[in-house]
Chains A and B, each alone.
Chain A
Amino acid sequence: MARRCSKCHSLDRIDVVQLAEPRGWELLVHRMRLQPRSGISLTDQDTVVRCIVYRKFGLDTARGRKGAGS
């Protein structure tokens, strides 16, 4: 995530953005993946979404399964 997302913006930007639902992050990262030179493959997209959703919502997936640690 650090290497992919920071190509266009700082990682801090992810921390300050507040989305209401995990699904929003799924769609937002999908849109970022298709930015030129994103370097975010489909596999990376899943990893990035899971990482963000876990950090923001304590969920394992954007579809809403509770993480073990939450």
Chain B
Amino acid sequence: MRASRVVLALVACLVGREAQAQDIQRNFVGSVQLDYLSIPTESVAGDTALDGATAELSLKVGVDFSENISSNVKVCFACHGFEVGAAYFDLRTADELNFRVGRFTPSFGDFPVRHDPANHRTNDKPLPYDMGRMLHIRDWNMSILPAPWVDNGIEINGSHFFAELSQIDYAIYAVGGPRASAEAVDFDYIQSRTPAAYYIDNNSRPTVGGRLSATLGFNASTHLSAGASGMVGTYDPDNELDFWLVGADLVLRTSPFILRAEYLLRRTEMALGLDPASRFRYGPGADGTYDPYFLKDGFYTELEVPLGDLDVVARWDGLRRLGNTLATSELRSDSVLLRYTGGLSYRLRAATRLKLSGEYYDSSDFEDEVALHIGIASPF
């Protein structure tokens, strides 16, 4: 408690001194997307997906106290109702050293930077980062790391620029981490966003992680970025069930197109319970013991071609789950989901865009299905 008071006093002192030196600048931005998801291969798709119309709204206030101190507060409204997507301070001592404290999305992968619907051209997110729009969402327990992943904690990050067109970025962080109940077999995403469980760490142990990426600029219009991310921690209240998550990403931006590719892999420990024989679908291994871990990995590759007011997007993404499943699960010990997406984003007027996309789901455990999106999105 004393330490937190000292930190708050230091921040207040810094803010006060900086604010005297320069005028405080405030800006207000936001975005809205209305998207309609239709699944023509299902007569009633409510059991399969969160179909129909969804509205995603974000409202953000940024306050620049100076070049070294800023604060951002972002409120989002979507399927969950209102949520605080960000509320943090950035305390910057140099380009290479910034302290971010509060509630934020810890640095992981490339897509989360563009998670705002107004900042990506497709109607929905790539499967490894999906947050509610994928088919068979409950069977798969959503994606690997739903974006935006918002949590409380501290992140130290920075950027070093070199050779005029290139830079290295890093981040390390400690956050509350994912949550679930005791005896869980996977993350419980509802617990991460319900006030019933309080917005605090559920097991008194932080989840830690980091990211390192490099961007090489070959000329004014061609950049190649590569990054690696990792996260490790426990997710149950007893601090017994561990997980680790790693990711790699590559982005090539050149004059006629943008090519993106990411891969994520999560290893998660399941509670075996008192009677694993009745709890799980598959029996023990050759050594007579149950494997308590499952692997979930996923990828996406995306080609975006801007053609004036029209952007054309082709995406191929997928999820795979390896490991034992609950006896009630529709998945098997080796389940695969592949998706093929074609999309258009047309600028109607100013920053307002009409988004259209068609998706074909190729599943190892369910009938292949088609999903159609039509949406309108705009920043403001």
Chain A, 1-29, CB within 8 A of any chain B CB: 3, 7-10, 12-13, 15-17, 19-21, 23-24, 27-28
For B380, give the chain A residue with the smallest CB separation. A16
Distance A23 CA – B26 CA, assembled complex (angstroms): 10
Determine the chain B residues whose CB is within 8 A of the CB of A38 once the complex forms.
Answer: 159, 167
Determine the chain B residues whose CB is within 8 A of the CB of A9 once the complex forms.
Answer: 114, 116, 118-119, 379
Distance A9 CA – B161 CA, assembled complex (angstroms): 21
Residue A43 interfacial (CB < 8 Å): yes
Determine the chain B residues whose CB is within 8 A of the CB of A28 once the complex forms.
Answer: 25, 27, 62, 64
Say whether A15 contacts B119, CB under 8 Å: no
Residue B135 interfacial (CB < 8 Å): no
Distance A42 CA – B67 CA, assembled complex (angstroms): 13
Distance A17 CA – B31 CA, assembled complex (angstroms): 11
Say whether B159 contacts A36, CB under 8 Å: yes
Determine the chain A residues whose CB is within 8 A of the CB of B223 once the complex forms.
Answer: 3, 39
Residue A30 interfacial (CB < 8 Å): yes
Chain B, 64-92, CB within 8 A of any chain A CB: 64, 66-67, 70, 90, 92
Say whether A16 contacts B351, CB under 8 Å: yes
Indicate the size class of the contact surface on chain A. 20 to 34
Contact code string B319-358 (vs A, CB < 8 Å = 1, else 0)? 0000000000000000000000000000100110100000
For A24, give the chain B residue with the smallest CB separation. B25
Distance A43 CA – B162 CA, assembled complex (angstroms): 12
For B215, give the chain A residue with the smallest CB separation. A37
Say whether A42 contacts B161, CB under 8 Å: yes
Say whether A31 contacts B64, CB under 8 Å: yes
Q: A12-B351, A16-B351, A39-B167 are in contact. Are A31 and B70 (CB under 8 A)?
A: yes
For A28, give the chain B residue with the smallest CB separation. B27
Q: Is the interface of B mostly helix, strand, loop or mixed?
A: strand
Q: A28-B62, A41-B164, A41-B165 are in contact. Are A19 and B350 (CB under 8 A)?
A: no
Of A3, A17, A24, A34, the residue contacting B92 (CB under 8 A) is: A34
Number of B residues contacting the other chain (C-beta, 8 Å)? 49
Say whether B380 contacts A10, CB under 8 Å: no
Residue B169 interfacial (CB < 8 Å): yes
Minimum CB–CB distance for A58 against chain B, Å: 19
Say whether A13 contacts B118, CB under 8 Å: yes
Distance A54 CA – B158 CA, assembled complex (angstroms): 30
Say whether A31 contacts B379, CB under 8 Å: no
Residue B237 interfacial (CB < 8 Å): no
Determine the chain B residues whose CB is within 8 A of the CB of A37 once the complex forms.
Answer: 110, 113, 167, 169, 213, 215, 225, 227, 251
Say whether A35 contacts B113, CB under 8 Å: yes
Say whether B70 contacts A16, CB under 8 Å: no
Distance A32 CA – B71 CA, assembled complex (angstroms): 13
For B223, give the chain A residue with the smallest CB separation. A39
Chain B, 139-198, CB within 8 A of any chain A CB: 157-159, 161, 164-165, 167, 169, 171
Q: A21-B25, A30-B67, A31-B64 are in contact. Are A36 and B171 (CB under 8 A)?
A: yes
Of A10, A23, A31, A36, the residue contacting B213 (CB under 8 A) is: A36
Say whether A10 contacts B23, CB under 8 Å: no
For A31, give the chain B residue with the smallest CB separation. B70
Distance A42 CA – B169 CA, assembled complex (angstroms): 15
Residue B42 interfacial (CB < 8 Å): no
For this complex, 13 residue pairs linking A to B, each with C-beta atoms less than 8 Å apart, are A10-B119, A12-B379, A17-B27, A20-B25, A30-B67, A34-B95, A36-B211, A37-B110, A37-B225, A37-B227, A39-B223, A41-B164, A43-B164
Q: Which residues of B are interface residues toward A (Cβ below 8 A)? A: 22-23, 25-27, 29, 62, 64, 66-67, 70, 90, 92, 95, 98, 107, 110, 113-114, 116, 118-119, 157-159, 161, 164-165, 167, 169, 171, 211, 213, 215, 217, 220-221, 223, 225, 227, 251, 253, 347, 350-351, 353, 378-380
Q: Which residues of A are interface residues toward B (Cβ below 8 A)? A: 3, 7-10, 12-13, 15-17, 19-21, 23-24, 27-28, 30-31, 34-39, 41-43
3 smallest A-B Cβ distances: which pairs? A12-B351, A27-B64, A24-B25
